Amino acid sequence: MAAPVRLGRKRPLPVCPNPLFVRWLTEWRDEAASRGRRTQFVFQKALRSLRRYPLPLRSGKEAKILLHFGDGLCRMLDQRLKQHRSSGGDHAPGSSGAKSPAQEGPPADVQDSAMPVLVQPKAGGSGSYWPARNSGARAALLLLYREHLHPSGHSFLTKEELLQRCAQETPGVASGSARPWPALRSLLHRNLVLRTHQPARYSLTPEGLELAQKLAESEGLSSLSVGIEPEEPPGEEPEVPRSFSAELGASEGNVQEPQLELRPGEYRVLLCVDVGETKGAGHRSELIRQLQRLHVTHTVRKLHVGDFVWVAQETRPRDPATPGELVLDHIVERKRLDDLCSSIIDGRFREQKFRLKRCGLGRRVYLVEQHGSVHNLSLPENTLLQAVTNTQVIDGFFVKRTADIKESAAYLALLTRGLERLYQGHTLRSRPWGIPGDPESGAGPSPKPLCSLLTFKDFNTGAIKNKAQSVREVFARQLVQVRGVSGEKAAALVDRYSTPASLLAAYDACATPKEQEMLLSTVKCGRLQRNLGPALSRTLAQLYCSSSPLT
């Protein structure tokens, strides 16, 4: 006989045993992501581990039994819990009185500003992301939402317009600054903001519009006040959190540095040699010996792009440990013939040229050094000659061929002395990354040197190979890997279709496979604005539209 069934009321299990800890970790993770900090991954791992734990925790110290919870994170939770209790909150983070994120509504005016607020979005919307109060991401969404609702607005803002609005509240942010934007980068990654055109225009995606509307409602802003704002005096912008201004003008807490100015007699020209040119035995150490023999003033540093650059170094700095340095508008990439062969085979040849053209310096020199017999190389001589010719004619580099390392060192010494004479008597000033220099001396055979220069720190930081990249930049790097797609062609393609998703959407809109194959054939590329062509368009259509393995 079967045992009798015991009927009774079961105590419902909470949706989340530790809603406060989950809420705080989510806030810290989103704040770190908006600032571009790697600690976002630490918080994400801890959050994933906490959500798997079925029992309530009474303190941050108890969370140490979980994976990815260290002493520092547990102390942060205990400190936040203490602040929460002192403000009159629940005494236990897992108590039934604490609302879960799914049950909590928009914040009230009397709520503690230190407490995070989560509103559960609809399925298929912007996910569980809710930007923290006074964060850059929150302010960016509200600014774009205001522009979207404005009757005479364009539904988008340019980078300069966003900076200008923030600069009105925080004068320390210079208009036109081109430093990285961690907040916008995070919104682009979450598909909440769309970047189009060149110069870039930022607008809200449908998911971003939905989230921005919830943000406006949570702050008590109606559609009318957000869009028109009749209460504001004419010409006065609404208040923007200062944290957003700091993020737009600086990267991860560093304020914008004042402009550096070097007058005649206050600087010297110094050759910077990449550390890769000095390591090892043989020809690398021989290069340094030759420079010393020729009495070339030089220093060895880690260069993220190029092998040789020249800097104007301050001779009487305020801090002798960190003198001011401006990078002159010349850069040299040195290749021995055997290294040139290997770089062509493994793809570094095109990638390095692409990065050199984006490094911010206008005078690019490709130094090709003879090494042994051309008959012993892995590629035919005609292939190497064609690659060198393309570098000069198509890419616009100045190509210099030398017989050996002694001649290469002599050429570097000649360039150093020539730059000393060229910049003698000129006042040099720093400029932000991405801002063009003097228009009358930036291009062409002008006798006047470029005097608006990048600082060495900005130059080397902007040229980091493995830095955080946008979807557009990764898409361009992916296109360059296709045979026949040069840097100019990839740039033209990403100007038309900024992401793989937009390109795939355009392919889906085509009625026939033939139309897909000819979709990109009329894209204008390069300075001559030539068509991409049907052959390359067909190759890209096969790459992105074929569901079977490529043959």
Tell me what pLDDT residue 18 has. Answer: 87
- Of residues 228 and 521, more confidence is placed in 521
Tell me how long the chain is. 551
113 and 219 Cβ atoms separated by less than 8 Å: no
At 293, is the pLDDT very low, low, confident or very high (cuts 50, 70, 90)? very high
Tell me what pLDDT residue 163 has. Answer: 63
Which two three-digit tokens encode residue 183? 């907040």
Tell me what pLDDT residue 368 has. Answer: 93
Tell me what pLDDT residue 117 has. Answer: 35
Cα angle: 136, vertex 140, 142; to 5 degrees? 120
| Positions of E strands within 109-249 | 157-158, 193-196, 201-204
Q: From the candidates 27, 307, 314, 458, which is the catalytic residue?
A: 307
d(CA 193, CA 201): 10
Residue whose entry in the numeric block shows the structure tokens 């690019």? 364
- Of residues 12 and 255, more confidence is placed in 12
Beta-sheet pairing, 267-274 with 193-196: unpaired
Is 244 a residue whose pLDDT tops 80? no
CA dist 206 → 96, 106, 177, 274, 385 (Å): 36, 21, 28, 47, 52
Which of 282-291, 322-331, 418-427, 531-540 comes out lowest in average pLDDT? 282-291
Is 98 a residue whose pLDDT tops 80? no
User: The whole model's pTM is what?
Assistant: 0.47
Which of 348, 268, 367, 360 has the alpha carbon at shortest distance from 308? 367
At 419, is the pLDDT very low, low, confident or very high (cuts 50, 70, 90)? very high
Cβ-Cβ contacts under 8 Å for 167 (sequence gap 6 or more):
173, 174, 175, 245
266 and 188 Cβ atoms separated by less than 8 Å: no
d(CA 369, CA 408): 7
Tell me what pLDDT residue 214 has. Answer: 85
Tell me what pLDDT residue 203 has. Answer: 81
Please return the burial class of 52, using the count of CB atoms within 10 Å of its CB with bins 0-12, 13-18 and 19+.
exposed
pLDDT, mean of residues 397-413: 92
Tens of pLDDT, residue by residue over 124-172, are: 334 567 887 767 777 778 888 887 777 666 677 887 777 666 555 434 3
Is 398 a residue whose pLDDT tops 70? yes
* H helix or E strand, kind and range, residue 331: strand 325-336
Is 513 a residue whose pLDDT tops 70? yes
Which two three-digit tokens encode residue 251? 């990267």
At 251, is the pLDDT very low, low, confident or very high (cuts 50, 70, 90)? very low
User: How many CA atoms lie within 13 Å of 28's alpha carbon, on the beta-carbon side?
Assistant: 20
Is 503 a residue whose pLDDT tops 60? yes
d(CA 479, CA 485): 7
Is 298 a residue whose pLDDT tops 60? yes
CA dist 283 → 259, 288, 290 (Å): 40, 9, 10
Beta bridge partners of 401: 368
Which of 58, 235, 237 has the alpha carbon at shortest distance from 142? 237
- Of residues 193 and 233, more confidence is placed in 193
Tens of pLDDT, residue by residue over 53-84, are: 888 888 888 888 888 888 888 888 998 888 88
Tell me what pLDDT residue 96 has. Answer: 41
d(CA 307, CA 369): 13
pLDDT, mean of residues 251-280: 76
Tell me what pLDDT residue 420 has. Answer: 92
Name the amino acid, one letter, at 471: V
Is 425 a residue whose pLDDT tops 50? yes
3-state secondary structure of 491: helix
Is 481 a residue whose pLDDT tops 50? yes
Beta bridge partners of 525: 530
Share of the chain above pLDDT 90, in %: 17
Name the amino acid, one letter, at 369: E
**Does the annotation mark 274 as catalytic?**
yes
At 105, is the pLDDT very low, low, confident or very high (cuts 50, 70, 90)? very low
Cβ-Cβ contacts under 8 Å for 88 (sequence gap 6 or more):
none
Is 10 a residue whose pLDDT tops 60? no
Tell me what pLDDT residue 435 has. Answer: 67
Q: From the candidates 274, 314, 333, 395, which is the catalytic residue?
A: 274
Mean pLDDT rounded to a whole number for the chain:
76
Q: From the candidates 277, 314, 395, 517, which is the catalytic residue?
A: 277
pLDDT, mean of residues 86-96: 60
